[in-house]
Structure 1
Amino acid sequence: MLRIRITLVVVAAASLAMLFAAFTSYRGIGTLVGDELERGLRDRAGAVVALLDAGRTPPPRPGTTEQVLLADGSVRPGGPPAGAAPGGEGLATRLPVSEGARRVALTGTGSSREDVVVEGTEYGILTLPLPAGGAVMTAQSYSAAEALDRGFLWRITWTTAAATGVAALLSWWVLGRILRPVNRLVGAAHRITTTQDLATALPPAGRDEIGRLTHSFEAMLDALRRSRAQQRQLVEDAGHELRTPLTSVRGSAELLQRARGRLAPEDEEQILATLVRETVALDDLVREVVELATDRHTGEEPEPVDLAEAAEDAAHRCRRRSGRTVTVVTEDARPVHARPRAVQRCLDNLLSNAVKFGPPDGPVLVRVEGAQVSVHDRGPGIPPGQERAVFDRFHRGPGTQGVPGSGLGLAIVHELVTADGGTVFARTAQDGGAIVGLRLPAAARKS
C-alpha cells in the first residue's frame, strides 16, 4: 500500500535525523561535562594548595577528597572524605599513589593526572606540588557525572521514541489527506475497468501533480471515448455501405442458382461480370475499412520527407496505373516531418480521387508549395458547403452516387495527415475542377 510505504520512508528519515541529532547532542554534552569536571578538579586542587600553604584546612566539597603526599612517599589526610558532608562517612581508604605523584612530591615540580577506581567509584586525581615540600593529591568522583550521563541518555531515548511515534501518526494522517484524490482516481479507474463505462466521471482535479495526473487521465478517457464513438460510427457506416454490394452479389448468385444453366450465354456473362465487379468493390471496401480502422502506419516513426520527391513518385505510379497525364509543379518545396509511407498513401489517394472524378482524358496537376501539396482535377468541382464533408467517411456528393469507390479515400487522407499534425483542405478551382490537398509540419532545418 502506497500510504504505508511512504509513511515508513518518512518515519525512517525522521528517525535517522533525530538519532543523528541525539547522538551529536549526547557527544557534545559529554564533552562539556568532561571539560567542566576537569576545570572543577583543577580549581579545587589549586584552592587546596593555597589553603594548605596558608596553614588552613580546606572546607569539605561534595564528591572530592584530598591527601598530602610527603617527599618520602608517606601519606597523611588533607581534607574530609570523598562525598561526605562535615562529620559524615566517606572514602575509607587512601588514594592510590602513582609513580607520577611520587615524582611530583619528590621534586616539587610539575603535576600528575590519572583516573583510578576506588571502592567501585571512578575518580580523577590531580597531584600538585606544595610550596613547603611534598604534594597534595586532589580526587574528584565521577559518580555525579555518570548519573547525569545516564539520566540524559534515558531522557533522550524516550524523547526520540516519542517523537518517532508522533512523526508516524502525523505522517499517516497527512498522507491520508494527500493521497485521498489518488484513492478517488484509483476508484474511478477501477469502476471504468470493471464496467467498461467510459462515461464514468473522474474526481475533481486540482492544480498540483495529482491534479495534472487527473487531467491527463481525463484527456486519455476523452481520446478513448472519441475512438469508441468513431469505431461505432465506422461499423455502422461500413455495415450500411456493405449492404449494397452484398445484396447485388447475393441476388446474382441466387439467380444463377435458380436458373441452373437455363440462362442465355449473354445473360449469364452479364451476371458473372456483375459478380466480379461487386466482389472487387467489396474487396476494396473491406480493405479500406481495415486500413482506416487500424492505420497500419502508426508504428512508423516520423522523419524528414522530401515532399517534391514523394509527389513525383506518386505521379509516376498514377501515370502507370491510369494512363493519365499527371504534371508536378514545384515551388520552394520544403521537407516535412511525417511518416514516409503515410505520405505516400495520402498522395496516392489524392491522385486516385482526381482520376476518379475528372474527365476520362483530363490532365491532373500536382502543385508542391513549401510544405503543402494540392491536386487539381478537371472534374465537376465541389458543391458549396461540401468542402469539409468530402473528408467524411463514405461521403457521396450530389451526382456521384454511381461513381465506383468506397468513399473512404479522402477520409484516410484526413486520418493520416491529422495524425502527423497536419491539415487537409478542399475547394473548387476558379477555372473549374476541384483542388484537394494537405499541409504537413515542416521539418526542422539543419544548422
Structure 2
Amino acid sequence: MSVPLKWRPPLALIVTGFVGLVLVLPTLAMALVVAVSRSPDVLVASLEANWGKIALALIAVLIATGITAFVFWRFLSRPLGKLADEADKVARAPAPFATEGPYGTHEVARLADSFAVLVARLQKRSAYLETMSAHFAHELKSPLTSIKGAAELLRDEWETMEPAQRERFLSNIVADVDHLSTFGSRLRDLARADMGSGSGTVSLTDLTTDVAEAFPGLAISSKGPAGQMLPLTRETGALALHHLADNAVKHGATNLSLKLLADGVLEIANDGAPIGPAVADTLFEPFVTTRRQDGGTGLGLAIVAALLRSAGGTVALLKSDPPTFQISFCDRER
C-alpha cells in the first residue's frame, strides 16, 4: 500500500508562509488603522516624512522572517527531508540507514535512531529467512530424492526383488518420512518461538516436573532458592528445557541437573558426550548438528535460543565437558 501521489506543499513553504504571515499581519493591521483614522493628505504627508522608518521596519520584518524560516529549515525541515531520503534509499535497495546526519532536534534524532534500529532488524530478519530457506531446501532435497529413488525401484522391480530388498527399501522410505516429519515439527517449533509467547513466570519445580514426565529414562535433579520464579511462561520454559534434554539424551546423557542461582541464572548440565570445539561457536545456529547421519535436524538448540530470545533471555554454552548451558534474563531486567 502506497501514499497517493499528488502535489503537497513542502514543509519549508508552509513554515515560511506561516512565519511571514505572523510577522507581517500586525504591521498591516496597524497600517490599516492609521490609514482609516487619517485623511488622505495627512497620510501621504506622513508616509513621505517617515518613509525611511517604514522601509527599516519592512526590512526588519523580512530579516526576522528569514531568520525564523532558517531556524525551522535547519532544525525541522532539513532533518525530516534527510530522514525521508534515507528511508527512500532503504526502500529501494538493501542499505544501512545512515544515523550520521543533520537530524536537528533531539526528537528527530531519536526518530532517526529508531528507524535505523528498525531497518537493521528487518534486514537481519530478511537475511535470516533467506538462510533458513536455503537450508530448508537443502534439508528436504536429500530425503525426497531418497524416497523418490526407492519408490521408483520398488515400482519397476517389485516382482524381481527379494523380500529382504523390499523390506530394506521400505524401511529407508519410512526412515526418511520420519525425518521429514521431525524436521517439520522442529520448524513449527522454531516459527512459534520466533513469534513469542507472551509474559509470565514459572517455578523451577514445575519445569522439572514437565521435563521428567517427557523423559522418564533421564534422571533429573534440581536445586535453587525456594520460591524464586523464572521470568517466562511455563510453556516456553518447558519447551526450551525439552529440547535441551532431548539433545542431551541423543548424545548419551542419563543424568540432567538444573541449578537456579540467586541472580536468576539457570544452569543446565548433563553427563552426555562432550561438545567438540568445531561446533561450540555455532551451536545455537539453525541446522548445525553432529548427528546428521542419524537423522539430526540441527534445529533443537536453535529453537531453545529463539524461545529464550522471545522471552527476553539468552542461552550460552558455559562448559563443553560436561556439557553445561546457562540461561539468563539480563535483557529483561534492564
The answer to whether TM tops 0.5 is yes
Distance 2:317 2:162 in 1: 48
* C-alpha contact 1:181 1:203 (8 A) present in aligned 2: no
Q: Structure 2: 5+ residue runs without aligned partners?
A: 1-9
Cα distance change on mapping 1:349 and 1:168 into 2, 3 Å: same
- Of residues 307, 314, 334 in structure 2, which corresponds to 1:423? 314
In the TM superposition, 1:298-337 aligns within 5 A as: 298=196, 300-303=197-200, 305-319=201-215, 323-332=216-225, 334-337=228-231
Cα distance change on mapping 1:13 and 1:301 into 2, 3 Å: farther
Give the match's secondary structure for 1:391.
coil
1:284 matched to 2:182: yes
Distance 1:440 1:260 in 2: 58
Name the residue aligned to 2:3. Answer: none
Give the match's secondary structure for 2:142.
helix
1:270-327, Cα deviation, whole Å (9 max, x unpaired): 32222122112112223323543564542x3323x124144224324423xxx31332
Give the match's secondary structure for 2:223.
strand
In the TM superposition, 1:8-27 aligns within 5 A as: 8-11=17-20, 14=23, 18=26
Deviation at 1:166, TM superposition (A): 5.9
Percent of aligned positions that are identical:
21
In the TM superposition, 1:76-91 aligns within 5 A as: none
1:90-132, Cα deviation, whole Å (9 max, x unpaired): xxxxxxxxxxxxxxxxxxxxxxxxxxxxxxxxxxxxxxxxxxx
Higher helix share: 2
Say which one has the larger Rg: 1
Distance 2:62 2:38 in 1: 33
Cα distance change on mapping 1:183 and 1:428 into 2, 3 Å: closer
Name the residue aligned to 1:355. Answer: 249
Name the residue aligned to 2:4. Answer: none
Give the match's secondary structure for 1:389.
coil
| Count of aligned pairs between the two proteins | 310
Name the residue aligned to 1:224. Answer: 122
* C-alpha contact 2:282 2:288 (8 A) present in aligned 1: yes
Name the residue aligned to 2:323. Answer: 434
1:245 matched to 2:143: yes
Name the residue aligned to 1:369. Answer: 261
* C-alpha contact 2:224 2:261 (8 A) present in aligned 1: yes
Cα distance change on mapping 1:278 and 1:296 into 2, 3 Å: same
- Of residues 288, 293, 296 in structure 2, which corresponds to 1:395? 288
- Of residues 172, 175, 188 in structure 1, which corresponds to 2:72? 175
Distance 1:143 1:407 in 2: 93
In the TM superposition, 1:210-221 aligns within 5 A as: 210-221=108-119
Distance 1:15 1:283 in 2: 76
Q: Structure 1: 5+ residue runs without aligned partners?
A: 27-141
For residue 73 of structure 2, what is the amino acid of its counterpart? G
Cα distance change on mapping 1:22 and 1:357 into 2, 3 Å: farther
- TM-score normalised by structure 1 residue count: 0.57
* C-alpha contact 1:366 1:376 (8 A) present in aligned 2: yes
RMSD, matched Cα: 4.0
Give the match's secondary structure for 2:283.
helix
Name the residue aligned to 1:235. Answer: 133
